[in-house]
Structure 1
Amino acid sequence: MALSQNSEASIYSTRSSNGPLCHCSQPTVLKISWSDDNPGRRYYKCEDHGFLLWHDKERACLWQKQSLLEAREKILTQTEEIKALCASLRQAHGQLAALEISSSSCSVNETLKSIENCVTAHIIETEKVLRKFVRYSGGGFVLATALLVFFLKK
């Protein structure tokens, strides 16, 4: 899992008072490069214009570079493993919750009866609202018709 040349980490993300100012007069931020060419090498970055200046004047030795690249790969692998474990944990938690629901104290028939009662109550309430709507609509129609007839007779 190789990272691109522009890969970076913001381990040092504080504004640097010792770092150079960008040509836009903004302070720079000290960052760490994790590219294949410069792993672990620190540099100053302007948030608006990107790379500005290396903090570490020398490149890492070959063994240091190899160690940093191996550490980067190990971190990426462990990050993926952590994501997979979190997903498995969420799935196991869901299965446990479903198991707890299915083994609850009330039986399936009691649960179904409770659901049926809730649905029946909702249907009855909906029918009441519909009857009121029809009643008011009919009254409004009769009133509108009476007014229309009254004004047409004049």
Structure 2
Amino acid sequence: MGKTCFRHAYGKYQRDSTPNKEGPPCNCSQPTALTMAWTEENPGRRFYKCDEHGFVVWHDKEKSCRWQKQSLLEARDKILTQAEEIKALTTALRRANAQIAALEVSRSSGSINESLKAIEDHISAHINETQKVVRNLVLYSGGGFAIASVIIIFYMKK
């Protein structure tokens, strides 16, 4: 059976997550849930609460004595402080995990950048080699054409 915390105009209280079948019904005949008050006046004192109408009747007939009240209030404050610390640590952990994930992405993209650079260098070398082949082809073709033209002209003059 889980517990759920709530805030009320009169303070904080905690209630069981399921209505208590043995508790007294509300005036509206709805079942009530056993709830623990965390107010300054009644720390730790249990009562039955209707979801629609609120307080129905006290489960604990007597208020806690002075030292119990003080101990419960101190425990409540310590719990609230620790809950805030847990929340802050959880937030810090989420931020740290996000930073780690960002670093991993940048590291992996660094290797991608290196791979892309290697591919670019390979393509540039291939383009340069192809340009040399084309230049040689044009040069040899032009040279061959010139030699053929000279030979044709030489034979035409004879």
TM range (shorter): 0.5 to 0.7
Question: Which residue matches 1:88?
Answer: 92
CA-CA distance at 1:5 after TM superposition: 2.5
Question: Which residue matches 2:106?
Answer: 102
Separation in 2, partners of 1:97, 1:58: 55
1:80-102 Cα shifts (integer Å, max 9, x gaps): 11111111111111111121122
Question: Which residue matches 1:69?
Answer: 73
More relative contact order in 1 or in 2 (CA 8 Å, sep 6+)? 1
The runs of 4+ residues in structure 1 deviating greater than 3 Å are 107-112
1:89-148 Cα shifts (integer Å, max 9, x gaps): 111111111211222262546569xxxxxxxxxxxxxxxxxxxxxxxxxxxxxxxxxxxx
Instruction: Sort the Cα spacing of 1:9 and 1:37 in 2 relative to 1 into closer, same or farther, 3 A.
Output: same
Q: How many pairs does the alignment contain?
A: 111
User: Aligned partner of 1:9: which letter?
Assistant: Q
Instruction: Sort the Cα spacing of 1:39 and 1:111 in 2 relative to 1 into closer, same or farther, 3 A.
Output: farther
1:16-45 Cα shifts (integer Å, max 9, x gaps): 233212111112111000001000000011
CA-CA distance at 1:15 after TM superposition: 2.3
Question: Which residue matches 2:49?
Answer: 45
Separation in 1, partners of 2:84, 2:47: 28
Question: Which residue matches 1:29?
Answer: 33
Q: TM-score, normalised by structure 1?
A: 0.63
Tell me the SS of whatever aligns to 2:44. Answer: coil
Q: TM-score, normalised by structure 2?
A: 0.62
User: Aligned partner of 2:60: which letter?
Assistant: D
Tell me the SS of whatever aligns to 2:18. Answer: coil
Which ranges of structure 1 fall in alignment gaps of 5 or more residues?
113-154
Instruction: Sort the Cα spacing of 1:4 and 1:37 in 2 relative to 1 into closer, same or farther, 3 A.
Output: farther
Tell me the C-alpha RMSD between the 2 structures: 2.5
Q: Between the two proteins, what is the percent identity of the paired residues? A: 55
Name the one with the larger strand percent: 2
User: Aligned partner of 2:11: which letter?
Assistant: N
